[in-house]
């Protein structure tokens, strides 16, 4: 007997499920029991601006009566730069979260759904020109900055780039810390972006629930001026400073209030301003 079956034997052939807008997972890295990053193939037609997000997800469970399945999608910032061949995402794992409780188990070779319609306000087009760019991130809000920090336009537009990342504990800073360290010593990145440009990046990580070199919510460190003293830069000034903000809803609201108090106005794609905000995926 042979293991081969005739090609006409459809009754026993296992159908390969094809998802709508399917992309294939190429790698998965777990950073902690709450955080992981993964890379997928990029649709040939997908063009996006660094900092934008897309809807991604998996097929939901079959409906108990009809057996029909609907896609379960969430907004995810693209963490890879616009020039990359693949797409990278950085995700939280929410216990009992409808999507992330399943998404955290993906393996290379699996398929995810990716709607190729990028949108978002965390883009250079929504910011007026300036001298110093602040990127304020908490948790997985680092993702769009992982893209923007590898985008040549970021360095063409600004003389200084300050990326702050606040997490509960030190382990949760790993994705961002490794990315920035690698960026600064990677030959390909040095060639693409220029050493003098990479030297413009100033990384300011803080933790709130585990002791580290710098502790505290970034909002507190802005309010009490420690951020500026530590970096040796003047307080926020609408004439020179621009900001991009990505974190939880509460974080975004608190930072927006601080930006507005400093005289910065929120921008949009249709009307660029001095700061822009995007909510990091949660759920
Ligand atoms: P904290 O530990 O004091 O809540 P999370 O993992 O819950 O998304 O939080 C990520 C980080 O963002 C934590 O360090 C958290 O600090 C901080 N954070 C949460 N909400 C705010 C806020 N409204 N303003 C400033 N920082 C915040």
State pLDDT tens for residues 6-54.
Answer: 444 444 444 445 667 999 999 999 999 999 999 999 998 999 999 999 9
pLDDT in tens, 71-85: 999 999 999 999 999
Q: Whose CA is nearest to atom 20 of ligand 1?
A: 251
- In the reported structure, the alpha carbon of residue 128 is separated from the centroid of ligand 1 by a whole-number distance in angstroms of 28
Which residue out of 212, 221, 251 has the highest number of ligand 1 atoms within 8 Å of its CB and is therefore the one to mutate?
251
In angstroms, the Cα distances linking 16 to 19, 93, 278 are: 10, 28, 37
**pLDDT (0 to 100) of residue 18:** 63
Per-residue pLDDT of the chain (283 residues; tens, 9 = 90+): 333 444 444 444 444 456 679 999 999 999 999 999 999 999 989 999 999 999 999 998 888 899 888 899 999 999 999 999 999 999 999 989 999 999 999 999 999 999 999 999 999 999 999 999 999 999 999 999 999 999 999 999 999 999 999 999 999 999 999 999 999 999 999 999 999 999 999 999 999 999 999 999 999 999 999 999 999 999 999 999 999 999 999 999 999 999 999 999 999 999 999 999 998 765 4
pTM (whole model) above 0.75: yes
Q: Where are the beta strands (DSSP E) in the chain?
A: 22-30, 35-41, 53-59, 71-77, 86-92, 111-119, 132-138, 160-167, 201-207, 241-247, 275-279
- In the reported structure, the alpha carbon of residue 137 is separated from the centroid of ligand 1 by a whole-number distance in angstroms of 10
Q: Whose CA is nearest to atom 23 of ligand 1?
A: 251
- In the reported structure, the alpha carbon of residue 2 is separated from the centroid of ligand 1 by a whole-number distance in angstroms of 61
Q: Whose CA is nearest to atom 21 of ligand 1?
A: 251
């Amino acid at each position: 007997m042979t293991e081969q079956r005739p090609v006409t034997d459809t009754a026993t052939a296992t159908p390969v499920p094809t998802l709508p807008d399917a992309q294939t997972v190429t790698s998965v890295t777990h950073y902690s029991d709450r955080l992981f990053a993964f890379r997928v193939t990029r649709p040939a037609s997908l063009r996006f601006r660094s900092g934008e997000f897309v809807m991604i997800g998996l097929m939901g469970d079959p409906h108990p009566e009809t057996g029909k399945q609907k896609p379960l999608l969430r907004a995810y910032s693209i963490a890879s730069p616009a020039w990359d061949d693949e797409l990278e995402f950085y995700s939280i794992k929410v216990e009992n979260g409808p999507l992330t409780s399943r998404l955290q188990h993906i393996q290379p070779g699996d398929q995810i759904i990716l709607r190729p319609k990028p949108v978002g306000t965390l883009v250079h087009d929504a910011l007026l020109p300036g001298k110093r760019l602040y990127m304020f991130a908490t948790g997985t809000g680092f993702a769009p900055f992982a893209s923007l920090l590898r985008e040549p336009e970021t360095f063409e537009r600004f003389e200084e780039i300050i990326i702050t990342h606040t997490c509960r504990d030190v382990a949760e800073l790993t994705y961002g810390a490794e990315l920035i360290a690698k960026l600064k010593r990677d030959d390909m990145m040095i060639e693409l972006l220029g050493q003098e440009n990479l030297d413009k990046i100033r990384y300011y990580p803080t933790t709130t629930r585990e002791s580290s070199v710098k502790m505290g919510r970034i909002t507190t460190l802005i309010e009490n001026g420690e951020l500026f003293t530590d970096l040796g830069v003047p307080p926020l000034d609408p004439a020179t400073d621009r900001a991009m903000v990505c974190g939880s809803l509460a974080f975004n609201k608190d930072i927006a209030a601080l930006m507005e108090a400093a005289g910065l106005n929120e921008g949009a794609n249709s009307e660029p301003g001095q700061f822009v905000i995007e909510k990091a995926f949660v759920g």
